[in-house]
Chain A
Protein backbone atom coordinates (compact mmCIF):
# COMPACT_ATOMS: atom_id res chain seq x y z
CA UNK A 1 0.00 0.00 0.00
CA UNK A 2 1.21 3.48 -0.78
CA UNK A 3 2.45 5.46 2.19
CA UNK A 4 2.42 8.66 0.16
CA UNK A 5 0.69 11.76 1.39
CA UNK A 6 -2.63 12.14 -0.47
CA UNK A 7 -2.53 13.62 -3.95
CA UNK A 8 -4.09 17.05 -4.61
CA UNK A 9 -4.94 18.66 -7.92
CA UNK A 10 -3.76 22.24 -8.24
CA UNK A 11 -5.61 25.04 -10.02
CA UNK A 12 -4.06 28.46 -10.58
CA UNK A 13 -5.68 31.76 -11.47
CA UNK A 14 -3.09 33.43 -13.64
CA UNK A 15 -4.44 36.91 -13.08
CA UNK A 16 -7.60 38.66 -12.03
CA UNK A 17 -10.47 38.14 -14.45
CA UNK A 18 -9.41 34.64 -15.52
CA UNK A 19 -10.72 31.31 -14.30
CA UNK A 20 -8.58 28.91 -12.32
CA UNK A 21 -6.83 26.44 -14.59
CA UNK A 22 -5.55 22.98 -13.76
CA UNK A 23 -1.74 22.99 -13.69
CA UNK A 24 -0.74 19.72 -12.04
CA UNK A 25 -0.67 17.96 -8.70
CA UNK A 26 1.19 17.82 -5.40
CA UNK A 27 1.30 15.48 -2.46
CA UNK A 28 0.42 16.95 0.92
CA UNK A 29 -0.82 15.63 4.25
CA UNK A 30 -3.63 18.19 4.52
CA UNK A 31 -5.28 21.07 2.71
CA UNK A 32 -3.27 23.81 4.37
CA UNK A 33 0.07 22.31 3.39
CA UNK A 34 -1.36 21.39 -0.02
CA UNK A 35 -1.83 25.11 -0.69
CA UNK A 36 1.71 25.83 0.50
CA UNK A 37 3.11 23.03 -1.65
CA UNK A 38 1.12 24.24 -4.62
CA UNK A 39 2.53 27.73 -4.07
CA UNK A 40 6.09 26.47 -3.76
CA UNK A 41 5.84 24.16 -6.78
CA UNK A 42 3.59 25.92 -9.28
CA UNK A 43 3.92 29.68 -8.73
CA UNK A 44 7.68 30.16 -8.61
CA UNK A 45 7.66 32.22 -11.80
CA UNK A 46 4.79 34.63 -11.20
CA UNK A 47 2.32 32.14 -12.63
CA UNK A 48 -0.60 33.05 -10.43
CA UNK A 49 -2.57 35.27 -8.08
CA UNK A 50 -4.83 32.62 -6.55
CA UNK A 51 -4.70 28.88 -5.89
CA UNK A 52 -7.22 26.10 -5.46
CA UNK A 53 -6.36 22.61 -4.35
CA UNK A 54 -8.71 19.69 -4.25
CA UNK A 55 -8.05 16.11 -3.23
CA UNK A 56 -7.66 14.08 -6.40
CA UNK A 57 -9.80 11.36 -4.90
CA UNK A 58 -12.68 13.83 -4.57
CA UNK A 59 -12.88 14.59 -8.26
CA UNK A 60 -15.78 12.94 -10.03
CA UNK A 61 -15.04 12.53 -13.71
CA UNK A 62 -17.06 11.48 -16.72
CA UNK A 63 -16.34 8.03 -18.11
CA UNK A 64 -14.26 8.20 -21.30
CA UNK A 65 -16.07 5.10 -22.56
CA UNK A 66 -19.27 7.15 -22.44
CA UNK A 67 -17.81 10.00 -24.48
CA UNK A 68 -20.09 9.11 -27.39
CA UNK A 69 -23.43 9.33 -25.58
CA UNK A 70 -22.22 12.27 -23.50
CA UNK A 71 -20.75 14.56 -26.11
CA UNK A 72 -21.66 13.53 -29.62
CA UNK A 73 -25.37 14.45 -29.43
CA UNK A 74 -24.23 18.10 -29.23
CA UNK A 75 -22.74 17.81 -32.70
CA UNK A 76 -26.16 17.86 -34.38
CA UNK A 77 -27.45 20.88 -32.47
CA UNK A 78 -26.05 23.37 -34.95
CA UNK A 79 -28.93 25.76 -34.24
CA UNK A 80 -27.23 26.60 -30.94
CA UNK A 81 -24.58 28.53 -32.85
CA UNK A 82 -25.14 32.04 -34.24
CA UNK A 83 -23.80 31.15 -37.68
CA UNK A 84 -26.76 28.81 -38.17
CA UNK A 85 -29.03 31.75 -38.92
CA UNK A 86 -29.06 33.68 -42.21
CA UNK A 87 -29.57 37.38 -41.67
CA UNK A 88 -29.03 39.84 -44.54
CA UNK A 89 -25.86 41.93 -44.20
CA UNK A 90 -27.84 45.17 -44.37
CA UNK A 91 -29.30 44.41 -40.97
CA UNK A 92 -26.87 45.80 -38.40
CA UNK A 93 -26.22 45.20 -34.75
CA UNK A 94 -27.63 41.70 -34.57
Chain B
Protein backbone atom coordinates (compact mmCIF):
# COMPACT_ATOMS: atom_id res chain seq x y z
CA UNK B 1 0.00 0.00 0.00
CA UNK B 2 1.51 3.32 -1.07
CA UNK B 3 2.07 5.79 1.72
CA UNK B 4 -0.17 8.87 1.83
CA UNK B 5 1.31 12.33 1.71
CA UNK B 6 1.22 13.93 5.15
CA UNK B 7 -1.80 16.07 5.79
CA UNK B 8 -0.43 19.47 6.70
CA UNK B 9 -2.05 21.94 9.15
CA UNK B 10 -2.99 24.30 6.29
CA UNK B 11 -4.80 21.45 4.60
CA UNK B 12 -6.75 20.85 7.77
CA UNK B 13 -7.66 24.51 8.00
CA UNK B 14 -8.87 24.46 4.43
CA UNK B 15 -10.88 21.34 5.13
CA UNK B 16 -12.57 23.12 8.04
CA UNK B 17 -13.63 25.94 5.75
CA UNK B 18 -14.99 23.67 3.07
CA UNK B 19 -18.71 23.46 2.49
CA UNK B 20 -20.42 20.34 3.70
CA UNK B 21 -21.14 18.97 0.30
CA UNK B 22 -19.35 18.96 -2.99
CA UNK B 23 -15.90 18.94 -1.46
CA UNK B 24 -14.55 17.41 -4.64
CA UNK B 25 -16.18 19.69 -7.15
CA UNK B 26 -16.89 22.97 -5.36
CA UNK B 27 -14.21 25.62 -5.34
CA UNK B 28 -15.98 26.58 -2.06
CA UNK B 29 -14.53 29.36 0.05
CA UNK B 30 -13.70 31.91 -2.64
CA UNK B 31 -16.74 30.96 -4.65
CA UNK B 32 -18.94 31.23 -1.64
CA UNK B 33 -17.70 34.73 -0.84
CA UNK B 34 -18.20 35.77 -4.44
CA UNK B 35 -21.67 34.28 -4.49
CA UNK B 36 -22.64 35.92 -1.25
CA UNK B 37 -21.27 39.25 -2.47
CA UNK B 38 -23.34 38.89 -5.61
CA UNK B 39 -26.43 37.89 -3.65
CA UNK B 40 -26.13 40.80 -1.22
CA UNK B 41 -25.76 43.12 -4.21
CA UNK B 42 -28.90 41.71 -5.78
CA UNK B 43 -30.87 42.31 -2.60
CA UNK B 44 -29.34 45.72 -1.97
CA UNK B 45 -29.62 46.94 -5.55
CA UNK B 46 -33.30 45.94 -5.74
CA UNK B 47 -34.04 48.09 -2.70
CA UNK B 48 -31.75 50.93 -3.75
CA UNK B 49 -33.10 51.34 -7.26
CA UNK B 50 -36.73 51.12 -6.21
CA UNK B 51 -36.07 53.55 -3.36
CA UNK B 52 -34.51 55.92 -5.86
CA UNK B 53 -37.56 55.64 -8.10
CA UNK B 54 -39.94 56.33 -5.20
CA UNK B 55 -37.90 59.40 -4.28
CA UNK B 56 -38.74 60.76 -7.72
CA UNK B 57 -42.37 60.99 -6.60
CA UNK B 58 -41.54 63.74 -4.13
CA UNK B 59 -43.90 66.65 -4.65
CA UNK B 60 -45.90 64.81 -7.30
CA UNK B 61 -48.23 62.45 -5.41
CA UNK B 62 -52.00 62.53 -5.94
CA UNK B 63 -52.68 63.61 -2.34
CA UNK B 64 -50.60 64.77 0.59
CA UNK B 65 -51.33 61.59 2.50
CA UNK B 66 -50.14 59.52 -0.47
CA UNK B 67 -47.02 61.67 -0.62
CA UNK B 68 -46.17 60.59 2.91
CA UNK B 69 -46.94 56.94 2.20
CA UNK B 70 -44.64 56.83 -0.83
CA UNK B 71 -41.86 58.55 1.09
CA UNK B 72 -42.18 55.98 3.88
CA UNK B 73 -41.75 53.16 1.38
CA UNK B 74 -38.75 54.91 -0.13
CA UNK B 75 -37.13 55.42 3.26
CA UNK B 76 -37.57 51.75 4.16
CA UNK B 77 -35.99 50.71 0.88
CA UNK B 78 -33.01 53.04 1.19
CA UNK B 79 -32.47 51.69 4.70
CA UNK B 80 -32.52 48.11 3.42
CA UNK B 81 -30.14 49.00 0.61
CA UNK B 82 -27.70 50.50 3.08
CA UNK B 83 -27.64 47.31 5.15
CA UNK B 84 -27.38 44.89 2.24
CA UNK B 85 -24.71 46.90 0.45
CA UNK B 86 -22.71 47.27 3.65
CA UNK B 87 -22.85 43.50 4.00
CA UNK B 88 -21.78 43.08 0.38
CA UNK B 89 -18.80 45.34 0.98
CA UNK B 90 -17.88 43.43 4.11
CA UNK B 91 -18.09 40.09 2.33
CA UNK B 92 -16.05 41.39 -0.57
CA UNK B 93 -13.35 42.61 1.80
CA UNK B 94 -11.87 45.18 -0.52
CA UNK B 95 -12.79 48.19 1.57
CA UNK B 96 -15.85 49.24 -0.41
CA UNK B 97 -18.63 50.53 1.84
CA UNK B 98 -22.32 50.88 0.96
CA UNK B 99 -21.86 54.34 -0.54
CA UNK B 100 -18.90 53.24 -2.63
CA UNK B 101 -21.01 50.41 -4.03
CA UNK B 102 -24.07 52.57 -4.59
CA UNK B 103 -22.35 55.51 -6.23
CA UNK B 104 -19.31 54.07 -7.97
CA UNK B 105 -20.54 51.14 -10.01
CA UNK B 106 -21.81 51.34 -13.56
CA UNK B 107 -24.75 49.63 -15.22
CA UNK B 108 -22.99 46.33 -15.87
CA UNK B 109 -22.12 45.95 -12.19
CA UNK B 110 -25.65 46.56 -10.92
CA UNK B 111 -27.50 43.40 -9.96
CA UNK B 112 -31.08 44.60 -9.46
CA UNK B 113 -34.01 43.06 -11.30
CA UNK B 114 -35.43 44.92 -14.28
CA UNK B 115 -38.79 45.58 -12.62
CA UNK B 116 -37.49 48.04 -10.05
CA UNK B 117 -35.69 50.21 -12.59
CA UNK B 118 -38.81 50.75 -14.68
CA UNK B 119 -39.80 54.43 -14.78
CA UNK B 120 -42.56 55.55 -12.44
CA UNK B 121 -45.09 56.23 -15.18
CA UNK B 122 -48.41 57.28 -13.69
CA UNK B 123 -49.55 56.36 -10.18
CA UNK B 124 -51.10 53.12 -11.48
CA UNK B 125 -47.84 51.91 -12.99
CA UNK B 126 -45.96 52.79 -9.83
CA UNK B 127 -48.52 50.84 -7.82
CA UNK B 128 -48.37 47.87 -10.19
CA UNK B 129 -44.57 47.79 -9.89
CA UNK B 130 -44.75 48.12 -6.11
CA UNK B 131 -47.41 45.48 -5.68
CA UNK B 132 -45.61 42.85 -7.76
CA UNK B 133 -42.18 43.59 -6.37
CA UNK B 134 -43.16 43.89 -2.71
CA UNK B 135 -45.27 40.75 -2.82
CA UNK B 136 -42.31 38.77 -4.14
CA UNK B 137 -39.83 40.52 -1.84
CA UNK B 138 -41.96 39.78 1.20
CA UNK B 139 -41.94 36.05 0.51
CA UNK B 140 -38.21 36.19 -0.10
CA UNK B 141 -37.43 38.07 3.12
CA UNK B 142 -39.67 35.79 5.18
CA UNK B 143 -37.66 32.87 3.87
CA UNK B 144 -34.37 34.68 4.44
CA UNK B 145 -35.12 35.12 8.13
CA UNK B 146 -34.12 31.43 8.29
CA UNK B 147 -30.90 31.90 6.31
CA UNK B 148 -27.87 30.08 7.64
CA UNK B 149 -26.05 33.40 7.32
CA UNK B 150 -27.06 35.26 10.48
CA UNK B 151 -26.31 38.67 8.96
CA UNK B 152 -28.73 38.08 6.11
CA UNK B 153 -31.29 36.64 8.50
CA UNK B 154 -31.09 39.69 10.73
CA UNK B 155 -31.55 42.21 7.92
CA UNK B 156 -34.37 40.14 6.47
CA UNK B 157 -36.20 39.99 9.80
CA UNK B 158 -36.21 43.78 10.06
CA UNK B 159 -37.04 44.33 6.41
CA UNK B 160 -39.82 41.76 6.23
CA UNK B 161 -41.99 43.86 8.55
CA UNK B 162 -41.45 46.91 6.37
CA UNK B 163 -42.18 45.05 3.18
CA UNK B 164 -45.34 43.45 4.57
CA UNK B 165 -46.70 46.99 4.82
CA UNK B 166 -45.50 47.87 1.30
CA UNK B 167 -47.24 44.83 -0.16
CA UNK B 168 -50.46 45.57 1.72
CA UNK B 169 -50.77 49.24 0.87
CA UNK B 170 -49.91 48.53 -2.76
CA UNK B 171 -52.58 45.83 -2.87
CA UNK B 172 -55.10 48.26 -1.38
CA UNK B 173 -54.38 50.63 -4.21
CA UNK B 174 -54.53 47.95 -6.91
CA UNK B 175 -58.03 47.16 -5.70
CA UNK B 176 -59.15 50.79 -5.56
CA UNK B 177 -57.76 51.68 -8.95
CA UNK B 178 -58.88 48.44 -10.58
CA UNK B 179 -62.43 48.74 -9.27
CA UNK B 180 -62.65 52.55 -9.17
CA UNK B 181 -63.53 54.51 -12.29
CA UNK B 182 -63.24 53.47 -15.93
CA UNK B 183 -60.17 55.64 -16.26
CA UNK B 184 -58.47 54.18 -13.21
CA UNK B 185 -59.23 50.65 -14.39
CA UNK B 186 -57.76 51.39 -17.80
CA UNK B 187 -54.64 52.87 -16.20
CA UNK B 188 -54.28 50.01 -13.72
CA UNK B 189 -54.46 47.49 -16.55
CA UNK B 190 -51.87 49.44 -18.51
CA UNK B 191 -49.62 49.66 -15.46
CA UNK B 192 -49.78 45.92 -14.87
CA UNK B 193 -49.35 45.30 -18.57
CA UNK B 194 -46.08 47.22 -18.45
CA UNK B 195 -44.81 45.07 -15.61
CA UNK B 196 -45.83 41.47 -16.36
CA UNK B 197 -42.81 40.68 -18.55
CA UNK B 198 -40.48 41.42 -15.62
CA UNK B 199 -42.13 39.10 -13.11
CA UNK B 200 -40.41 35.85 -14.10
CA UNK B 201 -37.04 37.37 -13.32
CA UNK B 202 -38.10 37.79 -9.69
CA UNK B 203 -38.21 34.00 -9.38
CA UNK B 204 -35.21 33.12 -11.51
CA UNK B 205 -32.60 30.90 -9.90
CA UNK B 206 -29.16 30.85 -11.53
CA UNK B 207 -25.98 28.98 -10.63
CA UNK B 208 -25.03 31.55 -7.99
CA UNK B 209 -28.28 31.19 -6.13
CA UNK B 210 -28.40 27.43 -6.61
CA UNK B 211 -25.10 27.14 -4.76
CA UNK B 212 -26.29 29.48 -2.02
CA UNK B 213 -29.57 27.62 -1.69
CA UNK B 214 -27.69 24.36 -1.24
CA UNK B 215 -25.92 25.78 1.81
CA UNK B 216 -29.09 27.29 3.21
CA UNK B 217 -27.86 30.85 2.77
CA UNK B 218 -30.31 31.85 0.05
CA UNK B 219 -33.98 31.16 -0.48
CA UNK B 220 -35.05 29.14 -3.49
CA UNK B 221 -36.98 31.81 -5.36
CA UNK B 222 -38.69 29.27 -7.58
CA UNK B 223 -40.37 27.78 -4.53
CA UNK B 224 -42.00 31.13 -3.78
CA UNK B 225 -43.83 31.37 -7.08
CA UNK B 226 -47.03 29.45 -6.22
CA UNK B 227 -47.85 31.60 -3.20
CA UNK B 228 -47.02 34.72 -5.22
CA UNK B 229 -49.36 33.63 -8.00
CA UNK B 230 -52.10 32.92 -5.50
CA UNK B 231 -51.77 36.31 -3.85
CA UNK B 232 -51.71 38.16 -7.18
CA UNK B 233 -54.77 36.24 -8.35
CA UNK B 234 -56.66 37.07 -5.16
CA UNK B 235 -55.90 40.78 -5.35
CA UNK B 236 -56.73 41.01 -9.04
CA UNK B 237 -60.00 39.26 -8.43
CA UNK B 238 -60.88 41.70 -5.67
CA UNK B 239 -59.94 44.50 -8.04
CA UNK B 240 -62.25 43.04 -10.70
CA UNK B 241 -59.25 42.77 -13.02
CA UNK B 242 -58.52 39.86 -15.40
CA UNK B 243 -55.95 37.25 -14.45
CA UNK B 244 -52.46 37.92 -15.78
CA UNK B 245 -51.30 36.57 -19.10
CA UNK B 246 -47.54 36.46 -18.84
CA UNK B 247 -45.70 37.40 -22.01
CA UNK B 248 -42.22 36.11 -22.82
CA UNK B 249 -40.01 37.07 -19.90
CA UNK B 250 -37.37 39.76 -20.15
CA UNK B 251 -34.41 39.03 -17.90
CA UNK B 252 -30.79 40.03 -17.46
CA UNK B 253 -30.70 42.32 -14.45
CA UNK B 254 -28.92 39.80 -12.24
CA UNK B 255 -25.95 39.69 -14.62
CA UNK B 256 -25.90 43.41 -15.33
CA UNK B 257 -27.87 43.42 -18.56
CA UNK B 258 -30.43 46.09 -17.81
CA UNK B 259 -33.01 48.19 -19.58
CA UNK B 260 -32.02 51.54 -21.04
CA UNK B 261 -33.61 53.24 -18.05
CA UNK B 262 -31.02 52.25 -15.47
CA UNK B 263 -28.21 54.24 -17.05
CA UNK B 264 -30.24 57.44 -16.80
CA UNK B 265 -31.20 56.69 -13.23
CA UNK B 266 -27.55 56.15 -12.30
CA UNK B 267 -26.43 59.26 -14.14
CA UNK B 268 -28.67 61.33 -11.89
CA UNK B 269 -28.09 59.38 -8.70
CA UNK B 270 -24.31 59.18 -8.97
CA UNK B 271 -23.46 62.52 -10.49
CA UNK B 272 -22.13 64.27 -7.37
CA UNK B 273 -19.78 61.56 -6.04
CA UNK B 274 -18.61 60.88 -9.61
CA UNK B 275 -17.99 64.54 -10.44
CA UNK B 276 -16.12 65.20 -7.20
CA UNK B 277 -14.47 61.86 -6.39
CA UNK B 278 -12.29 63.36 -3.64
CA UNK B 279 -15.10 65.07 -1.80
CA UNK B 280 -16.68 63.91 1.43
CA UNK B 281 -20.32 64.91 1.85
Binding site for B on A (CB under 8 A): 5, 26-29, 32-33, 36-37, 39-41, 44
Please tell me which one of the listed residues A5, A32, A36 contacts residue B69 in the complex, with CB atoms under 8 A apart.
Answer: A36
- Which single residue of chain A is at the shortest CB-CB distance from B175? A32
Q: Is the CB of A41 within 8 A of B63?
A: no
Taking CB atoms and an 8 Å cut-off, the chain B residues in 180-229 that contact chain A are: none
Assuming A36-B69, A40-B69, A44-B68, what are 15 further A-B pairs, CB within 8 angstroms?
A26-B65, A27-B64, A27-B65, A29-B176, A32-B172, A33-B65, A33-B172, A36-B168, A36-B169, A36-B172, A37-B65, A37-B69, A40-B65, A40-B72, A44-B72
What's the A-B contact tally at a CB cutoff of 8 Å? 27
* Chain A to chain B contacts (Cβ below 8 Å), 8 pairs: A27-B64, A27-B65, A33-B172, A33-B176, A36-B169, A39-B165, A41-B65, A44-B72
Taking CB atoms and an 8 Å cut-off, the chain B residues in 52-75 that contact chain A are: 63-65, 68-69, 72
A2 to chain B, nearest CB (A): 13
Within the assembled complex, what's the spacing in Å between the Cα atoms of A33 and B63? 12
Q: Is the CB of B65 within 8 A of A28?
A: yes
B181 to chain A, nearest CB (A): 12
Known contacts A36-B169, A36-B172; decide if A5 and B68 are in contact (CB<8 Å).
Answer: no
Specify which chain B residues have a CB less than 8 angstroms from the CB of A44 in the assembled complex.
68, 72
- Which single residue of chain B is at the shortest CB-CB distance from A5? B63
- Which single residue of chain A is at the shortest CB-CB distance from B73? A40
Specify which chain A residues have a CB less than 8 angstroms from the CB of B176 in the assembled complex.
29, 33
- Which single residue of chain B is at the shortest CB-CB distance from A28? B65
B65 to chain A, nearest CB (A): 4
A55 to chain B, nearest CB (A): 15
Taking CB atoms and an 8 Å cut-off, the chain B residues in 143-181 that contact chain A are: 165, 168-169, 172, 176
Specify which chain A residues have a CB less than 8 angstroms from the CB of B165 in the assembled complex.
39
A36 to chain B, nearest CB (A): 5
- Which single residue of chain B is at the shortest CB-CB distance from A44? B72
Within the assembled complex, what's the spacing in Å between the Cα atoms of A26 and B69? 12
Q: Is the CB of A41 within 8 A of B172?
A: no
Within the assembled complex, what's the spacing in Å between the Cα atoms of A43 and B172? 20
Q: Is the CB of A27 within 8 A of B63?
A: yes
Going nearest first, the 6 A-B pairs with the smallest beta carbon separation are: A37-B65, A40-B69, A40-B68, A40-B72, A41-B68, A36-B169
A75 to chain B, nearest CB (A): 42
Within the assembled complex, what's the spacing in Å between the Cα atoms of A28 and B176? 12
B176 to chain A, nearest CB (A): 7
Within the assembled complex, what's the spacing in Å between the Cα atoms of A83 and B172? 55
- Which single residue of chain A is at the shortest CB-CB distance from B176? A29
Within the assembled complex, what's the spacing in Å between the Cα atoms of A5 and B66? 12
Specify which chain B residues have a CB less than 8 angstroms from the CB of A27 in the assembled complex.
63-65
Specify which chain B residues have a CB less than 8 angstroms from the CB of A28 in the assembled complex.
65
B30 to chain A, nearest CB (A): 43
A47 to chain B, nearest CB (A): 14
Within the assembled complex, what's the spacing in Å between the Cα atoms of A32 and B69? 14
Within the assembled complex, what's the spacing in Å between the Cα atoms of A86 and B3? 104
Within the assembled complex, what's the spacing in Å between the Cα atoms of A36 and B65? 9
Specify which chain B residues have a CB less than 8 angstroms from the CB of A26 in the assembled complex.
65
Specify which chain A residues have a CB less than 8 angstroms from the CB of B64 in the assembled complex.
27
